Amino acid sequence: MPLAKALELAQEYDLDLVEVAANARPPVCKLMDYGKFKYESAMKAREARKNQAHTVIKEMKLRPKIDPHDYDTKKGHVVRFLKQGDKVKITIMFRGREQSRPELGYRLLQRLAEDVQELGFVESSPKQDGRNMIMVLGPHKKKTEAMAEAREAQAARKAGRRQEAEAPSQESAEA
């Protein structure tokens, strides 16, 4: 179709004539609302960024002579991080004479790895690095899966709250 006729048709329908493929012979154009098209493509890009997963390495620091309750608290944090789909770097800090007993730190890291093995795996085994011993745990499920699961759980909680809010109002209507 000639360019003049295409422009006339675009004006008639109150649309824009947009060149889709400039390198094609003949060039391909399309009648569309260009503002709406730009808005929709921006929204698609925004949605893609929202669903994109960022790998984050969380860090947990321990000492070789950690109290059992403190260990449970730290382990709870590690479990939470792994459930969220994040990697966890566990650092054991040695001070003074503790440096001569690295096997205490190694045993502690092995115990932690066994305690959380259903949620994560040992990505890098324990290594002595000066005064510190470091181990990295990786989650079994990907960050995107964990995010989707969290969204579903949040939607379920919201639905449960709505039902609870509606239930008393129905009871008062029946009375």
Q: Read off the pLDDT of residues 23-77 as tens digits, 9 standing for 90 and up.
A: 888 888 888 888 998 999 999 998 888 777 677 799 999 999 999 999 999 999 9
Helices (H), 3-142: 3-12, 34-50, 68-83, 102-115
Dihedrals φ, ψ of 27, to 5°? -60, 140
What is the CATH topology of the domain spanning 57-143? Translation Initiation Factor IF3 (3.30.110)
pLDDT (tens digit per residue) in 6-19: 888 888 888 888 88
Return d(Cα 102, Cα 131) in angstroms, integer: 9
**pLDDT value for 171:** 59
| Residues 6 or more apart whose Cβ sits within 8 Å of residue 57 | 86, 87, 88, 89, 136
In the predicted model, what is the mean pLDDT of residues 99-109?
91
Domain boundaries, the chain: 3-50, 57-143
Could you count the other beta carbons within 10 Å of the beta carbon of residue 82? 23
66 in Cβ contact with 108 (< 8 Å): yes
pLDDT (tens digit per residue) in 36-45: 989 999 999 9
CATH of domain 3-50: 3.10.20.80
Could you count the other beta carbons within 10 Å of the beta carbon of residue 94? 19
pLDDT above 90: residue 111: yes
pLDDT above 90: residue 91: yes
**pLDDT value for 166:** 78
